[in-house]
Structure 1
Amino acid sequence: MDNVSLITTFFLSGLHETMNYRLALFSFTLLCYCLTLLINVTVIVAIILDKNLHEPMYILLCTFCINALYGTTGFYPKFLWDLLSPVHVISYSGCLVQAYVIYTFACADLSILSVMAYDRYVAICRPLEYHSVMSKQRLIKLVCYSWITPFCIIGTNIFLTSRLKLCSPYITRLFCVNWIIVKLACFPAETTVNNIVAYITIIIYVFHGFFIVWSYMYLIKTCVNSIENRAKFMQTCVPHLTSLLIFLVTILLDIMLIRYGSKDLPQAFRNFTAIEFLVIPPLVNPLIYCFKLSKIRKRIFYVVTIKPT
């Protein structure tokens, strides 16, 4: 049992320099979390209650919102607790669970976005075949793929991390991150398999990104010469493309800071870039879809018993 960690608790040090503003941060964070819950739950309920919205595009949007609730649940409650606590600690098992939830959330987001891109490609480029291609059975398979694949891939990463013997309990972030836990390993040679699996994971999701780019290049090429297709693109693809850009920008900013960021940067700035992919997309994405998709907007107005103007 040499590879079993003796560390039972991790100390999170990301909040130390911002504790003078913790009540203001707590209030703002709680407001963001409540709004995120409210908006995503409203969209989910609207889609479930309205049979006219039981179409692939809206079912995928519902899955997108459910994933947002899942990911934010892995971050907000612990972060809110830390803002009120003088000591920022998390158990070893709790840290692994949090890392698993946050990583699967991010990967599932990209998987769902790739399925959405495929759905829009079929709807606009192959409209006569849409209902046969995007059948109920295939939709179920695609939704299961967008969930099961990240759970299995990230589960493998977390399992390999759990086998490492760690020599430090200090994590310089606001939440648990798998790659930082791996860096705490006592013997770097033991992390070779972890690094290989991590690179394979990155490659898999880079291919997801390439697939989305290819889909949109083909969509744009198809829509250029058709007024009807341009209207479809503006109505249904722009929200999806906006969600994709928000996701990529927030993720890439965090990666760039990790890889090339200076330690002299303010802690508050580093904290913001670390958590923005957990805060901005889950809050903004459903709003974008609500504003752009008239069926969703009308149904939400009906749910809250407000007549649309």
Structure 2
Amino acid sequence: MSATPELDVERSDERPVPPREGRRRHLSDRSRAERNLGWRLAMPAFAIMVAVTGYPILQAIWNSFFSYRLTDPENKHFTFLSNYWVALKDGVFWQAVGVTFLITVITVVVEFFLGMVIAMVMHKIVIPRRTLRTIVLIPYSIITVVSAFAWFFAFRTDSGFVNHWFSWVPGIDPSTDWFGNFWGSIFVICLSEIWKTTPFMSLLLLAGLAQIDTSMEEAAEVDGATYWQRLTRVILPNMKAAIMVALLFRTLDAFRIFDNIFIMTGGANGTSSLSVLTYNQTIDRVEIGMGSALAVLLFLFVLLIAFIFVKAFKVDLAGGRS
């Protein structure tokens, strides 16, 4: 007599019920109302954002179709894609692209490994975490211009202390001119960028570490997994979303580097980035048309990088609460 209800229970448990569809049908009215409310609340801010950012982008695209020099506005004439063609054929443009990619790769890779180490230390540390996070964030809280000037004067031959402190290192003496060659300039630029933005990377990775269920790591340790195995098979896979966000934000920010290069070298010794090249064309040479074309190309590079990151990591950020 008791076998029949048990069999019925097993059948009801094994019946495939799509959880997402059931939840969507059950909460469709509520979800629709919340979605409409969210759009109404966000619409004013969204409209202001489009007006503030959308208009300059469209204006830059429009100006890029003209041969337009600010000191000679009467000779403004439509050239369509001529500015883009001139830029893409110019070796200076591709050199700036190469320097931008070089600085981006070096800084983001180093910042990721240092940020991961700092995040794991802060995650396991016993002392008050808020105090430690505040201390770690000090470099990131400094204005980029102030930080760039500090590193610039630290490495100068006349006012810097780096050459005197590290004169015992082979290849460094009091007369070493760090900004007299390409690789010396790149080293200082990357070092200043890494020092300032590694705390930002570490906090983003720390947020990802906080989302990992500690029982998973403990179970792997009980099963005899080494630390490297726990790191590569438990910790990092569960931090995929946080890693993608951290790398994406820092890559986009590093690709638009301007302050450090402008203050330290001004683009000399072949260290000009895309942002510095755009500034020189638009501000120094007042070539509004060519400068706008370079700005649009920089914008397209940023969009391409974001697209590659999202496709490569294949993370559904909208589907998870973390």
TM (norm. structure 1) is 0.30
Which structure has the larger Rg?
2
Relative contact order (C-alpha < 8 Å, sep 6+): which is higher? 1
